Amino acid sequence: MNITRGIVAKAQKVVLYGVEGIGKSTFAAQFPDPLFIDTEGSTSNMDVARLDKATSWTMLQQQIQFVKQNKPCKTLVIDTIDWAERVLIENMCAIERKKSIEDFGYGQGFTRLTEEVGRFLNLLQDVVDAGIHVVLTAHAQVRKFELPEESGAFDKYELKLGLKTSARTSSLVKEWADMVLFANYKIISQATDKNATKFKAHGGQRVIYATPRPTWDAKNRFGLPDEMPMDFSSIAHIFETTSTSTPISIPTPVEESPTVIDPAKIELAIEDPNNPFPKDGADINYDGIPQALIDLMKAENVIPSEIQSAVAKRGYYPADTPIANYGDNFINGVLIAAWSQVFEIIKEERITNGAF
């Protein structure tokens, strides 16, 4: 049994949500060496590092895996998590050929959504374990709450997650985070008459709240003040003391003999009319293929004929059927949603055909 004392240096998990236009993206850009997965174009006018817009749930997961494996930044920012939830719902509906999450049956769709969000947070936890901070931005929504022990109801700001109260995605994200920060404008109302029946609002200072109140969700594990100016300097000390760089002893890899490739075989493969790969410089025709699928293809250097061959091998469509003629349900529910399985078939065919 190993017992340790003191603060454990680790990367942090932050959720930053707030009202529209408060400056969530600008605030997130102040975290150490941030890399954005910008889903809404919020950083178009900002000088930040960003990955290509994820056009599918599969592509979003691939981008996170890339960050986990290559560690190109110190902070990964997903801007926004409520957009990611919408893409996940679209992915679920495409796989099951449903028009809406309501079509899964009473409560089943939201139960599956909660399970998938849990897996997504586990993937982000892997990024944190790799020493990279994760920041999730989100929009705020106002919902009416009623407490069991109190009469009456009141409005409360919370994460804009979950289409219904039965969805637990908001709770999962809040439980996962080390800190949940709520950003809002601080408005002060002042009476304009002697009887205090009329009021005028003034102020508008941007602030962040780090502790919960009846009218908003928030939390932190670092003893932060209840209210702070919306400036990264208010929380910068947390990230200055959580360096995760630990010396690791890596054994020297055993050098393997390089594989000798016969140039004649390469030339024959290029000249072979049955070879799926076009010659260098040849244009690839993506006409009629959805952008979400094109993005996945380009990431793995997959060309249309390879998909057509893989689809024909499984007996879905003849090999000469253009991808543009595939059904939308098949493209979204199979090719995009199950891209990893499709690409495995393509890799097997590449080995069989001697393409490398």
Q: Which of 206, 240, 274 is the last residue of a domain?
A: 240
- pLDDT higher than threshold 60 for residue 225: yes
Pairwise CA distance, residues 199 & 201, whole Å: 7
Mean pLDDT of the chain: 80
Query: In the chain, how many domains are there?
Result: 2
**Dihedral through CA 38, CA 225, CA 20, CA 23, nearest 10?**
-50
Q: Which helix (H) or strand (E) holds 37?
A: strand 34-38
Pairwise CA distance, residues 50 & 77, whole Å: 9
The 10s digit of each residue's pLDDT in 102-119 is 777 777 888 888 888 899
Q: Is residue 2 part of a domain?
A: no
Q: Is residue 127 part of a domain?
A: yes
The answer to whether residues 75 and 183 belong to one domain is: yes
- pLDDT higher than threshold 50 for residue 11: yes
The answer to whether residues 202 and 288 belong to one domain is: no
Q: Is residue 271 part of a domain?
A: yes
The answer to whether residues 159 and 228 belong to one domain is: yes
Q: Is residue 215 part of a domain?
A: yes
The answer to whether residues 224 and 268 belong to one domain is: no
Query: What residues make up the domain containing 73?
Result: 13-240
The answer to whether residues 281 and 170 belong to one domain is: no
The answer to whether residues 43 and 124 belong to one domain is: yes
The 10s digit of each residue's pLDDT in 257-302 is 444 444 444 344 444 444 444 544 457 888 888 888 888 888 888 8
Pairwise CA distance, residues 315 & 297, whole Å: 21
The answer to whether residues 275 and 196 belong to one domain is: no
Q: Mean pLDDT across the stretch 180-203?
A: 70
Q: Is residue 3 part of a domain?
A: no
Q: Is residue 302 part of a domain?
A: yes
The answer to whether residues 17 and 137 belong to one domain is: yes
Structure tokens at 95: 């796989």
The answer to whether residues 228 and 275 belong to one domain is: no
Q: Is residue 273 part of a domain?
A: yes
- C-beta atoms surrounding 85 within 10 Å: 24
